[in-house]
Structure 1
Amino acid sequence: MEIWDNSKGLPQNAIFALEKDNFGFLWAATEEGLVRFDGKTIKVFDEDNYPEMLEQTYYIFFKTEGGIWATGDRSIVLIDKNLKTVIDCSEITDQTWIRAIAENENGGLLIGTQKGEIYSWDEGTFSLLPFWNPETSLEILNFYPTGNSILLVGTSKGIYELNLSTKQTRRVTEQGFSALKIFGNASNRYVYGPDKGIFRIEEDYHLEMIYSFEQSNGVNPSSLIVDSENTIWAGSLENGLIKMSQGKVSEVIYPELQSYTVRKIIKENDNIYLGTLGKGLAVVRPAKIKQLNTGVLEQKNIKPIYQARDSSIWIGSKSDGLYQIKHGKINSWLEEDGLLQNRVNTIGSARGKVYVGSIAGISIIDQQSGQITGYLTKDNGLRSNYVYAIFRDSKNWLWILTKKGGIHYIDESGNFRQVELPEKYSNSGFISILELKNKEILIGSISQGFFRFNGEQLVETQSLPLTPGEDLIYSMYEDPAGDLWFATHGGIVLLKQGNFKILRKHQGLKSRSVFSIIPGDSAGVWVSHNFGVQYFPHSELEKFKNTTDEDFHIANSFYNENHGMPNSEANGLIFPSALKDYTGRIWIPTVEGIGIIPDPSLKKEQDKRFLFTWDNLQIGDQKTDIQDEIVIPQGVGMFQVSFSLVDFDNPDQYSLFYRINSKSKQWQPINEQRLLNFTGLKPGKYTLEVKIHRHGNLEQVNSLPIRVEAIWFETLAFKIFILLAFGLLIYFIVKYYSHIRMKRQLESMVSQRTAELSNANAQLKKALSEIESKNKVLLDITWFQSHLVRAPLTKAMGIAQVLNQYSSFQEIGLSKEELEKELLQTLEELDQVVRETHSKSENIKNDEG
């Protein structure tokens, strides 16, 4: 039995109604809201979480193909996986309340009230049912649809038949019969009458008494159901259940529900769901882990469990001595029977004797007679009386491990020997032992790692990569590949080809300490620890061997007190710390008894169905039922996606992983929550995938398309526009800077040209000045020519004319010879003037150079 109350998520512990919806969820109505349960998690529907609800408390459930109709004092809601519809009924509940509800044939509702009225609700409108006309005032107590347009109305004045097809009403039982509860299955209908008993309703509405008032006394009428085998079940007004079958009445007592009234019952195959007054919801189901059917070992703190060659099971306890189970009979030994101590640490056997180790030494019991025949202590050879482990190997050597470096063995001939160890191990504690496939012996220690022996020769010592406080090897296991696994105080340590890896709590272990590793079937191993037991398939162990991912999470199945263990805390620092018996069953010692795992049950569970369903999309305070694709509006930075995994048989057998991008090979583990949070997803299309492993094996991958819409400035068109605008901006910037550069080049060229022009102008001015100077020289030359050349030239011309015009020169007073001589002198003067003028011209040319 598993109890779900307000300490485990239920808002309140009084349950008024109980029903399963079309998705497989179990719904319960409490005083503080509606509750949805998937076998592992509880979800509360109340006015705080769902403001559209008009009230918190609902009393009656009516299941249909469209969901469950739940009625409150002044409202009705439709639930099916989530909240579907809310109907305000305040206009028909004045000074009365709703007692019954059913669907009419028009897709609407029929609502019966305590006043005896029946209303029809169609398309949002209430109206009194016109053909409901009982002949007397009465109270409506319940509705029972028969499936052929007939509705049976249980009232305080008999049962009425309401024909929805012909729209007629008739009373079918005597008026004095109060039909407090009509219930049934596919083949039979029953009615409970207060102070009368339980009757079968025949086809002609004849009432045949099945159980008298005396037989049904103490029944809580609201809880009455009938299962597929026509067994009637009811909650007792005092405690437990009342079972009525074939005329016999018996009680089913549950100590957990003592003094708590059962109000509602659902029986489904092997599971029973109980809604109680004050204890919440109880789920009763076949245990996955069995317990011994003997009271003597119940509640005992169990230590080692050992099976001898005659198949007898030997069980040690913390303070209650030693027990033997053989052929269904239990034998026991205590200190007063000769046992050295009532605290037992380890058990082993060899050559017809059972060796029982304690902190006071070893008690030796003759297996056949059951007599204690001797002791083995420090006085006759042990290094310490504190005995940790006793183990028989394939050579029939009996190994004995103790404190203070004690490794001993009794050989096949019965000779007792102590193994000599180096002095540094003289104070070591040896607590576990394993024989390898190659017949070597592996011994685990406290803080010294493991020791490998070939016979009595020490071959190897190897410490583990753990802190001193973690380095306790409780158990060891050699897998089919020959790799070694160590159960330690710091997790599970793997030794493969000389390299160590550690599987820790954040990678899938439920506990930091692991007490035992024991092979189950050929597919996997079991480990025990402080929180129960886990099953790891070899396929997952191989993944761990080969992965390089530090965040690797191992898929596994988990079992604890909720699955039948007497207590979730297993025991460690004992040997053997778990036992696989000759039939394949696995025995787990706990602090309150023994849990027995029938290993083949895992194979049966593989055939049982489970239901995965996407639940809600939550954005802020707004919740939306997920149908197919979900769309995240623009500008939303955070949202949540919830899902459910419906399984009431074994909800802890699953390991869940998710990823948001199918291109990624990395799956993230999902722990206890069923809610995934996403933040900062960029606009675009995604696929959310949830992967389900059962017993470590892949069962399903469920996909949900997600589309994150973009804000206008995140759209592709806007990005193209921005890209074009940016391109244009770059173009204009380049053009602008090109223009600036050209302008600067032009300015430079203008400045250079201006400088050149200025220089040319200066040179021109200089040239003009030089020209003016030369002009002045020329003027001087011209003046010189005009004055100096003219006089001799004129003189020469005059003499020439005289010589030409006169034949006689007496008149002139000069002879011809004198005139010619005068002319020659004049021409020489003229030549001298010309020479001087040429010399001045040459001086001008030299100045220019």
Structure 2
Amino acid sequence: MKKVTIKYFYYILALCLLLKHPVLSQSVPSSSTKNPEIVHNYVMEIWNNSKGLPQNAVFAMEKDNFGYLWTATEEGLARFDGKILKVFDQDNYPEMLEQTYYNFFKTESGIWAAGDRSIALLNKNIKTIIDCSEITDKALIRAIADNGEGGLLIGNQKGQIFSWDQETFTLLPYWTPGVPLDIFGFYPLKNSIILVGTSRGIYELNLQTRKVKLVTRQDFSALKIFGNGDQLYVYALDEGIFRLKEGYILENIYSFKQVNIISPSSLIADSDNSIWAGSLESGLIKMSEGRITQIIYPELQTYTVRKIIREKDNLYLGTVGKGLAIVRPAKIKHLNQDVLQEKNIKPIYQAADSSIWIGTKSDGVYQLKNGEINSWKDEDGLLQNRVNTIGSANGKVYVGSLGGVSIIDQQNGQIVEYLTKENGLQSNYVYAIFRDSKNWLWILTRGGGIHYIDEKDSFHQVELPEKYANTSFISILELNNKQVIIGSVNEGFLRFENDQLIENQILPLPMSENLIYSMYEDRDGDLWFATHGGIVLLHQGEFKILKKENGLKSRGVFSIISDGNSGIWTTNNFGVQYFPNSELEKFKHTSDEDFHIVNNFYNESHGMPNSETNGLIFPSALKDYSGEIWIPTVEGIGIIRGPSLAEKEDSKNFLFMWDNLHVGGQIIGIENEITIPEGVRIFQVTFSLIDIESPDRYSFFYRINKNSEEWQPISDSRQLNFTGLKPGYYNLEIKVLRHGKTELIKSLPIRVKATWFESLVFKILLLIAFGVLVSFMVKYYYNVRMKRSLECKVNQRTAELSNTNDQLKKALSEIERKNNVLIAITWHQSHKVRAALTKAMGIAQVLSQYSSYPEIGLSKNELEIELQKSLEELDQIVRKTHSMSENMKNHES
């Protein structure tokens, strides 16, 4: 019940006013509001729940210190930067204590949003939320202001004022009005003074002296105090609007009878000292210099405007049921002729008498002259209601169609003559009519038809080669050298000297794109062609093509028209583009295939009746004698007033802001740099570019690898999603382009933290472990290899040893055998040697011991001979033994 009461508080209050004053509620407004002003030539953008607003009833609206526009709805808060609506609700921001906030109060620290039981500080994001349950029991929060000591003053419906300091609420001790009252609002002044509007007068609250005094009569019900810094106003219940002058003198400037149809909560004062308010009946109320005007915007005629912000010529309107409406003056004006509203407009032409002739797709031709409008249709004698081209010569207007040419006498307005196939045209399908400086009137048709009516009013058909027999000629231009060039379908352009064809050049385009809708010669004599394949330049005999990738909004370009000063205007299926001469010169001389031409772009959001302009008509755009450029569209005429329009667009009133980091299910405001926690590899970075005036003139690119020269485009959502960035330090760069020209580059340091397993220490340890493992494996490999090698060598050696052993065994056996033989030989021979030796030794002993040898029976000589024999015998034995050994050795060999 409390929420419903708050939601409709001001409406119930207004209803009470009407019930208390039934006669006044039915009274006729003052004379100044008898005839409401229907607004023309404006652009309105509607932001509702189909475009991102949480809900279509706006309770409160205010701009924060950064320039974001905040709105409060029943389903949450919304922040707007001119392009993106960002919703703050309990689903996305669970720290919010409630979903619905009803009032905004602007302070130096930001916007304080007040709900049923809490307040929230809004400044780029939600900065602080304070639970106010203890001071809001059956009492709404009506006012919030800074208390000058870093805290807040909060006034509630019961007439109480609380001070909030150090997270504690205390009643303001010196707020003692002495009578029961309701607080309606605070209005801070200079020198620490706050005006308190109540149901029992206005009080001055002095924060320095800590005193309160009543500055108006006590029966004065100050429902709303508002101002603009220079002037201060008060809306008093049942009394009207007062100017609060110096010394708190009240001057009634609008009676309650005059303003009884306004919604008091919407009252504002703009910088021009005009007062604006939403009407309880319809539209807006503007009060200026005593005059009250009811302003009607047809789109909002049945919707109440609850909140208003006015900046320069722009209005921001918070409505009930329509959402947020942004109203701007149209940069491209409409032709305010009801009869031509929303008509499909074809050629527009200005005759020598300054009258403007307008052809339509199915409603004939119209003439605008001296504020009057005339028309001709088929029932008036026009050959056909579909008009393709218009021209004039010698006091006659020639209207070309699919059925021929209807000729209108300018003086009497009568259709006096026709030109068709029956009297000379090659085809009744007429594309272009054009008068040159010789006063020749050229008429171009299908089927190879090029005709002209000379200065003597004689009709001629230009003779052409047979190859052009089926060519359609659709555009024409007289050059500075008086030559005439004619654009065609698929055959390029033809150049004529008088009526003699001297040149034909084919454009370097495929057949489907080779349509020359319009032509332009610049101050250097270079030719520019508007075609179905872009803008083609002929410069020093060479062709160059400006395409979509170079900055065009559309492949097909219907017209090129110079403003005579600073640049050219072109039309296409999506609106109008303006190119400065300086950029055209850059294109002429650049060799960069990625060249992007700086331009301004205009469409319905700038006032065009429709973004789709018309082509295959002549003229496809008109610069009138005053310098205004007329653009035909499928739903009316857009008028570009003066060449300065594009120059005004050079304003750089925008602000780039890093917004939030979305990581790990949390939303964190970005200040200077961001850190991605360990193990997190998916995160999102959002940013804003605050420009509510002209949000569509920007494009964005980013890069995050500092070694990369390539910039990646960013979508209109203005958010960047990152997945799988490796741990380390990065520098995110965003490049902002305005109309294709770089305005600024913003950087954001990003640190992606590593887990233990991704840290440098872990990697070093892992590397060491890997090295140890590799070393172990190498050693193991070589050990295994060595083992195998050794095993192989051992086996080989074992085999060798085994073989050697066998050989040794054989040798040993042989040695044993030989040893046995030797033993036998030695034993056998030793006996013989021993016998001979013993004998020799005995003889030698006898010879040495005895001088005579009677006992022996032999003489010395005989003993010596016997000794000689024994020795010889011993020698023979030795020789024989040696011979036997030699025989054994030879036998082994």
Query: Considering the TM-score relative to the shorter chain, is it more than 0.5?
Result: yes
Q: Which runs of 5+ in 1 are unaligned?
A: none
CA distance in 2, matches of 1:225, 1:798: 167
Check the 8 A contact 2:611/2:633 in 1, yes or no.
yes
Partner of 1:731: 775
Amino acid at match of 2:80: F
Partner of 1:659: 703
- SS in structure 1 of the partner of residue 743 of structure 2: strand
2:85 corresponds, among 37, 42, 45, to 42
CA distance in 2, matches of 1:798, 1:608: 149
Check the 8 A contact 2:485/2:496 in 1, yes or no.
no
Check the 8 A contact 2:471/2:491 in 1, yes or no.
no
Check the 8 A contact 2:534/2:545 in 1, yes or no.
no
1:478/1:695 CA distance change after superposition, 3 Å: farther
TM-align CA RMSD: 3.9
Per-residue CA deviations over 1:304-323 (Å, capped at 9, x if unaligned) read: 12344555433211222223
- SS in structure 2 of the partner of residue 768 of structure 1: helix
1:3 corresponds, among 45, 54, 63, to 45
Partner of 1:261: 304
Equivalent positions of 1:111-510 (< 5 A) are 111-308=154-351, 311-326=354-369, 330-350=373-393, 353-366=396-409, 371-392=414-435, 398-410=441-453, 414-422=458-466, 426-434=469-477, 443-446=486-489, 448=490, 450-455=492-497, 456-457=500-501, 459-460=503-504, 462=506, 465-466=509-510, 468=512, 472-476=515-519, 487-489=530-532, 503-504=547-548, 509-510=552-553
Query: Which range is displaced more, 475-484 or 102-111?
Result: 475-484
1:411/1:629 CA distance change after superposition, 3 Å: farther
Q: Percent identity?
A: 66
Using the TM superposition, give the Cα deviation of residue 772 of structure 1 relative to its aligned residue in structure 2, in angstroms.
2.1
Matched, 1:32 2:54: no
Using the TM superposition, give the Cα deviation of residue 84 of structure 1 relative to its aligned residue in structure 2, in angstroms.
1.0
Amino acid at match of 2:696: D
Matched, 1:629 2:661: no
Partner of 1:60: 103
Matched, 1:606 2:650: yes
CA distance in 2, matches of 1:519, 1:399: 22
Equivalent positions of 1:520-599 (< 5 A) are 520=563, 524-537=567-580, 542=586, 556-597=599-640, 598-599=642-643
Check the 8 A contact 1:440/1:452 in 2, yes or no.
no
CA distance in 1, matches of 2:396, 2:315: 47
Using the TM superposition, give the Cα deviation of residue 345 of structure 1 relative to its aligned residue in structure 2, in angstroms.
0.9
1:806/1:281 CA distance change after superposition, 3 Å: closer
CA distance in 2, matches of 1:633, 1:449: 65
Amino acid at match of 2:289: Q
Partner of 2:808: 764
CA distance in 2, matches of 1:75, 1:544: 63
Partner of 1:515: 558
CA distance in 2, matches of 1:623, 1:556: 37
CA distance in 2, matches of 1:767, 1:658: 94
Amino acid at match of 2:221: S
CA distance in 1, matches of 2:871, 2:274: 174
Query: Which range is displaced more, 596-605 or 79-88?
Result: 596-605
Check the 8 A contact 2:561/2:621 in 1, yes or no.
yes
Check the 8 A contact 2:508/2:543 in 1, yes or no.
no
Check the 8 A contact 1:449/1:473 in 2, yes or no.
no
Query: Which range is displaced more, 129-138 or 743-752?
Result: 743-752
1:714/1:584 CA distance change after superposition, 3 Å: farther
Query: Which range is displaced more, 661-670 or 48-57?
Result: 661-670
Amino acid at match of 1:133: T
CA distance in 2, matches of 1:712, 1:443: 75
Using the TM superposition, give the Cα deviation of residue 200 of structure 1 relative to its aligned residue in structure 2, in angstroms.
2.1
- SS in structure 2 of the partner of residue 567 of structure 1: coil
1:174/1:774 CA distance change after superposition, 3 Å: same
Q: Which runs of 5+ in 2 are unaligned?
A: 1-42
CA distance in 2, matches of 1:620, 1:642: 15
- SS in structure 1 of the partner of residue 806 of structure 2: helix
Check the 8 A contact 1:495/1:501 in 2, yes or no.
no
Query: Which range is displaced more, 743-752 or 668-677?
Result: 743-752
1:82/1:343 CA distance change after superposition, 3 Å: same
Partner of 1:720: 764
Using the TM superposition, give the Cα deviation of residue 358 of structure 1 relative to its aligned residue in structure 2, in angstroms.
0.7
CA distance in 1, matches of 2:841, 2:217: 185
Query: Which range is displaced more, 142-151 or 794-803?
Result: 794-803
Per-residue CA deviations over 1:600-628 (Å, capped at 9, x if unaligned) read: 12212324522222222222432222222
Partner of 1:617: 661
Per-residue CA deviations over 1:349-406 (Å, capped at 9, x if unaligned) read: 4565443211111123455665544322111232321122234456665443323343
Check the 8 A contact 2:119/2:129 in 1, yes or no.
yes
Question: What's the TM-score once normalised by structure 2's chain length?
Answer: 0.84
Using the TM superposition, give the Cα deviation of residue 46 of structure 1 relative to its aligned residue in structure 2, in angstroms.
1.7
Using the TM superposition, give the Cα deviation of residue 201 of structure 1 relative to its aligned residue in structure 2, in angstroms.
2.4
CA distance in 2, matches of 1:545, 1:449: 27
Check the 8 A contact 1:355/1:365 in 2, yes or no.
yes
Per-residue CA deviations over 1:258-310 (Å, capped at 9, x if unaligned) read: 12222122222222222222222222222211223444433222111234455
1:544/1:178 CA distance change after superposition, 3 Å: farther
Amino acid at match of 1:39: G
- SS in structure 2 of the partner of residue 665 of structure 1: coil
- SS in structure 2 of the partner of residue 285 of structure 1: strand
2:885 corresponds, among 795, 818, 841, to 841
1:93 corresponds, among 119, 129, 136, to 136
- SS in structure 2 of the partner of residue 68 of structure 1: strand
- SS in structure 2 of the partner of residue 233 of structure 1: strand
- SS in structure 1 of the partner of residue 387 of structure 2: coil
Partner of 2:28: none
Question: What's the TM-score once normalised by structure 1's chain length?
Answer: 0.88
Check the 8 A contact 2:487/2:494 in 1, yes or no.
no
- SS in structure 2 of the partner of residue 721 of structure 1: helix
CA distance in 1, matches of 2:589, 2:701: 19
2:693 corresponds, among 639, 649, 664, to 649
1:13/1:797 CA distance change after superposition, 3 Å: closer
Amino acid at match of 1:117: Q
Number of equivalent positions: 841
Partner of 2:722: 678
- SS in structure 2 of the partner of residue 562 of structure 1: helix
Partner of 1:701: 745
CA distance in 1, matches of 2:516, 2:761: 64
Query: Which range is displaced more, 62-71 or 433-442?
Result: 433-442
1:785 corresponds, among 829, 832, 848, to 829
- SS in structure 1 of the partner of residue 259 of structure 2: coil
Amino acid at match of 2:104: F
